[in-house]
């Protein structure tokens, strides 16, 4: 039998049933963050070495890690895909073209190729998953919602991947502040398949944005068996557990989460180390001693100067880890390396990361260095204008809340009236967005606004 399509009717060029089925298993694992997908792709390659798509899927998986040290691995997988002995289908060629853009840092172009592909093949889960991932890295909330919405009606609930697509839709709704619809969609996805970590994640974000920290902690405990067993997403969901404990001002509990789940013994990827840096910085803002944890994190983070400037979101978190370790000189050196890339050549200017790094990443990092040096007034006035454009850095609203947390800490320690006013304005905004949590009350007290905070939260 010569397979002509995958299980959803998308054209494939392989002649091997075994190769196609192994790639299908890998796709399901990719969408569920199962660590074993590379073994399935190896099985697909072994069954049909000339088929381009499994090699391309390896390249896409590596590129999605946003780890500059692994760009060489991605390039080798892409080269293997192009060296295949079988002519790819137009669909497969489109994937190769999108991944080539991604490897060159042209993430906008990659997503445009996948968008065109999804118009013709709305059930191409691979295109949907990858485009969604790069929307996340680009902070593109519009497409996080719109793209799954464009294809979802074309899917059949009987398809085993349907709950994962519904979960992508739920997450896009959440990032566009459509919280009730997001939670409903995510819960429907989990009713169809309880092991859909992105659906668990979407509900977690809803609860985070609504200040439902006790509900969020209980939700993660309820679903914990589904996201802690062999999942690359587990570290990020442990990060969310830490955020909920932080919202309750349970800093000792957060440190236990760091020790058990966000330390160098378990951190393997850049994205995991970013989560660790983000949680440690939040603790640092609260005056918790995390110098040693940050030093360990930096020591275990395989970084070279040439790696700076690959993704501004990650670069900011590298800087935070160094500042948390009280290595201001090392942080300033990293900032200089990032600046050299962001202000560099015309080739770099074509990368999706270039403008966010130049316009948001560098000013933010300069403000963070000012904070670390104790110049809280300068830090507040430098960072505050960036809130309007910070989405371009990538990540989620919950992740970028680190900026507001830093501003609140800076305003609390500043002496100038403008900086104090920034803190008061942020607190007002926060109290109208969600109920006052212990963490918000802490910042109100630090700003001398505790009574107002209590009154507004009543």
Q: What CATH number did the domain enclosing 39 receive?
A: 1.25.40
| Backbone angle region of 395, left / alpha / beta, with phi > 0 → left and psi within -120 to 50 → alpha | left
For residue 153, being part of any structural domain is answered with no
Contact criterion met (CB below 8 Å) for 27 and 125: yes
pLDDT of residue 142: 97
Which residues on adjacent β-strands are paired with residue 34?
A: 231
The residue among 85, 106, 131 that closes a domain is 131
103-126: b (≥16 Cβ within 10 Å) or e? bebbbebbbebbbebbeebbbbbb
The residue among 112, 131, 150 that closes a domain is 131
For residue 194, being part of any structural domain is answered with no
DSSP, collapsed to helix, strand or coil, labels residue 151 as helix
For residue 39, being part of any structural domain is answered with yes
For residue 25, being part of any structural domain is answered with yes
The residue among 75, 99, 131 that closes a domain is 131
In this prediction the pTM is 0.96
pLDDT of residue 398: 98
For residue 136, being part of any structural domain is answered with no
pLDDT of residue 67: 94
In tens digits, what is the pLDDT along the chain, a chain of 458 residues?
Answer: 567 899 999 999 999 999 999 999 999 999 999 878 999 999 999 999 999 999 999 999 999 999 999 999 999 999 999 998 889 999 999 999 999 999 999 999 999 999 999 999 999 999 999 999 999 999 999 999 999 999 999 999 999 999 999 999 999 999 999 999 999 999 999 999 999 999 999 999 999 999 999 999 999 999 998 887 667 789 999 999 999 999 999 999 999 999 999 998 889 999 999 999 999 999 999 999 999 999 999 999 999 999 999 999 999 999 999 999 999 999 999 999 999 988 876 566 678 999 999 999 999 999 999 999 999 999 999 999 999 999 999 999 999 999 999 999 999 999 999 999 999 999 999 999 999 999 999 999 999 986 555 555 55
pLDDT of residue 1: 54
The number of folded domains in the chain is: 2
- State both tokens at 302: 């395989």
pLDDT of residue 340: 92
For residue 151, being part of any structural domain is answered with no
Q: CB burial class (10 A; 0-12, 13-18, 19+) of residue 432?
A: exposed
Contact criterion met (CB below 8 Å) for 191 and 208: no
For residue 210, being part of any structural domain is answered with no
Cβ neighbours for 107, distance < 8 A, ≥ 6 positions apart: 101, 134, 137, 138, 351, 352, 353
247-276: b (≥16 Cβ within 10 Å) or e? bbbbbebbbebbeebbeeeebeebbbbbbb
12-33: b (≥16 Cβ within 10 Å) or e? bbbbbeebbbbbbbbbbbbbbb
For residue 445, being part of any structural domain is answered with yes
Task: Give the domain range for residue 363.
Answer: 272-458
């Amino acid at each position: 039998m010569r397979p002509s399509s995958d299980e959803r009717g998308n054209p494939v060029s392989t002649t091997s049933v075994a190769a196609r089925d192994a790639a299908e298993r890998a796709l399901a694992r990719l969408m569920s963050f199962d660590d074993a997908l590379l073994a399935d792709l190896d099985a697909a390659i072994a069954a049909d070495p000339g088929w381009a798509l499994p090699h391309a899927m390896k390249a896409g998986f590596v590129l999605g890690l946003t780890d500059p040290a692994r760009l060489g691995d991605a390039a080798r997988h892409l080269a293997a895909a192009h060296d295949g002995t079988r002519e790819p289908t137009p669909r497969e060629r489109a994937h190769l073209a999108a991944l080539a853009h991604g490897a060159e840092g042209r993430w906008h172009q990659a997503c445009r190729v996948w968008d065109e592909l999804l118009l013709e093949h709305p059930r191409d889960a691979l295109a949907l998953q990858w485009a969604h991932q790069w929307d996340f890295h680009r902070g593109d909330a519009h497409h996080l919602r719109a793209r799954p919405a464009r294809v979802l009606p074309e899917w059949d609930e009987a398809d085993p991947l349907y709950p994962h697509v519904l979960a992508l839709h739920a997450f896009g709704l959440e990032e566009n502040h459509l919280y009730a619809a997001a939670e409903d969609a995510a819960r429907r996805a989990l009713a169809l398949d309880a092991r859909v970590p992105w659906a668990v994640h979407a509900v977690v974000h809803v609860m985070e944005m609504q200040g439902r920290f006790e509900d969020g902690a209980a939700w993660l405990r309820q679903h914990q068996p589904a996201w802690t067993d062999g999942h690359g997403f587990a570290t990020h969901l442990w990060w969310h557990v830490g955020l909920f404990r932080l919202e309750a001002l349970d800093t000792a509990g957060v440190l236990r989460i760091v020790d058990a789940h966000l330390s160098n013994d378990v951190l393997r990827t850049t994205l995991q180390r970013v989560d660790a840096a983000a949680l440690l910085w939040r603790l640092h803002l609260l005056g918790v001693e995390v110098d040693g944890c940050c030093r360990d994190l930096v020591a275990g983070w395989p970084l070279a100067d040439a790696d700076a400037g690959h993704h501004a979101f990650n670069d900011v978190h590298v800087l935070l880890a160094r500042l948390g370790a009280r290595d201001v000189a090392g942080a300033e050196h990293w900032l200089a390396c990032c600046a050299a890339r962001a202000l560099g050549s015309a080739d770099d200017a074509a990368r999706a990361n270039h403008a966010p790094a130049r316009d948001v990443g560098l000013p933010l990092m300069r403000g963070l260095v000012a904070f670390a040096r104790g110049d809280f007034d300068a830090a507040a006035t430098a960072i505050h204008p960036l809130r309007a454009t910070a989405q371009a850095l990538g990540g989620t609203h919950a992740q970028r809340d680190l900026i507001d947390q830093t501003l609140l800490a800076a305003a609390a320690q500043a002496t100038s009236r403008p900086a104090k006013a920034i803190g008061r304005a942020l607190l007002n905004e926060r109290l109208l967005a969600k109920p006052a949590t212990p963490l918000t009350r802490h910042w109100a007290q630090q700003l001398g606004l505790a009574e107002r905070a209590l009154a507004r939260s009543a």
